[in-house]
Amino acid sequence: MSSDAATDSASHGQHAPAEGGRRDFLSLVTAATAAIGVGAVVWPFVDSMNPAADTLAAGAPVDVDLSPIQPGQQIVLLWRGKPILVQNRTPAALKVLQSKEMLSRLSDPNSRVHQQPKYATNWHRSIKPEFGVLVGICTHLGCLPEYFPNPSKSVPVENWLGGYLCPCHGSKYDIAGRVYSGVPAPYNLPVPPYTFINDHTITVGKNPAGHTFSLGGIVQI
Ligand code: FES
């Protein structure tokens, strides 16, 4: 195992989630179109894209074609019973991620808490800046954060810069899943293991060569 891989798979802390307060995402994901909000699409579970149901239950990797996802849009798919958000980010959204105004609002802008693999420990929390991949589970009590990608003076809240708002207790995240300061959620949204198998296809559930990251080692999911 490389030193990168060893670091990547290491646990950086323990925080037992309040399982009793969490939802059953297997049953919720079909309702996620409404829950996730403007610009989101729930990706259909079609045989052509996904392995058979029995292998999915075992957590088999899932290939996702990025080409139909329009700039500003995200899709939601299910992997290991978890909603996975896959975004196509606009140049404007990437600018906001690096802006002083956004950085000043964040609790962990540099992703110091182990909530993502080493290959996504960067300002965009992803392999390629323009495509984001996140676990859509609020780190407070596990609701589905709603997607509001566009800056707005008033929607969903005053002076919004784009990102996610959790409808349960108001936690906010930027488009890279970085949590705001002063909200109930303590940590950034997790980034699942994933890799590019070509320019327009990712595999969720599989690391790039040399990495052994798994969600089992993060601080909280
Ligand atoms: S579950 Fe998201 S803010 Fe409480």
Tell me the mean pLDDT in the region 189-193.
98
Q: What is the pLDDT of residue 24?
A: 40
The proportion of the chain whose per-residue pLDDT surpasses 70, expressed as a percent, equals 74
Residue 206: CB atoms within 10 Å: 17
| Band of residue 59 on the pLDDT scale cut at 50, 70, 90 | confident
Q: Which two tokens stand for residue 133?
A: 């991949």
Q: What is the pLDDT of residue 25?
A: 40
Q: What is the pLDDT of residue 142?
A: 96
The proportion of the chain whose per-residue pLDDT surpasses 90, expressed as a percent, equals 72
Q: Which residue has the higher pLDDT, 41 or 26?
A: 41
Smallest CA-to-CA distance from 8 within 192, 177, 196, 217 is with: 217
Q: Whose CA is nearest to atom 3 of ligand 1?
A: 169
- How far does residue 145's CA lie from ligand 1's centre (Å)? 8
Q: Is the pTM of this model over 0.75?
A: yes
Residue 13 has pLDDT above 50, yes or no: no
Q: Whose CA is nearest to atom 4 of ligand 1?
A: 169
Closest ligand 1 atom number to CA of residue 21: 1
Residue 96's φ and ψ, nearest 5 degrees, are -60, -40
SS3 79: strand
Q: What is the pLDDT of residue 46?
A: 33
Mutate which of 137, 165, 166 for ligand 1 pocket (most atoms within 8 A of beta carbon): 166
Residue 9 has pLDDT above 80, yes or no: no
Closest ligand 1 atom number to CA of residue 185: 3
- How far does residue 79's CA lie from ligand 1's centre (Å)? 21
Residue 120's φ and ψ, nearest 5 degrees, are -120, 15
DSSP 150: S
Q: Which residue has the higher pLDDT, 164 or 34?
A: 164
DSSP 189: P
| Cβ 186 under 6 angstroms from ligand 1 | no
Residue 41 has pLDDT above 80, yes or no: no
Distance, in Å, from the CA atom of 40 to the CA atom of 201, rounded to the nearest integer, reads 19
What are residue 179's DSSP bridge partners?
Answer: 173
| Cβ 165 under 6 angstroms from ligand 1 | no
Q: Is the dihedral of CA 169, 175, 176, 181 positive or negative?
A: negative
178 to 103, 104, 209: CA distances (angstroms): 9, 12, 26
| Band of residue 114 on the pLDDT scale cut at 50, 70, 90 | very high
| Cβ 166 under 6 angstroms from ligand 1 | yes
Residue 66 has pLDDT above 60, yes or no: yes
Annotated catalytic residues are 169
Which helix (H) or strand (E) is 95 found in, with range? Answer: helix 91-97
Residue 189: CB atoms within 10 Å: 27
| Cβ 218 under 6 angstroms from ligand 1 | no
| Band of residue 56 on the pLDDT scale cut at 50, 70, 90 | very low
Q: What is the pLDDT of residue 42?
A: 53
Average pLDDT, the chain: 82
Distance, in Å, from the CA atom of 97 to the CA atom of 41, rounded to the nearest integer, reads 23
Distance, in Å, from the CA atom of 174 to the CA atom of 183, rounded to the nearest integer, reads 13
Q: Which two tokens stand for residue 113?
A: 């808490």
Q: For residue 65, count CB atoms less than 10 angstroms from its CB and return exposed for 0-12, middle for 13-18, buried for 19 or more.
A: middle
**Domain 34-214, CATH class in plain words:** mainly beta
Distance, in Å, from the CA atom of 48 to the CA atom of 68, rounded to the nearest integer, reads 15
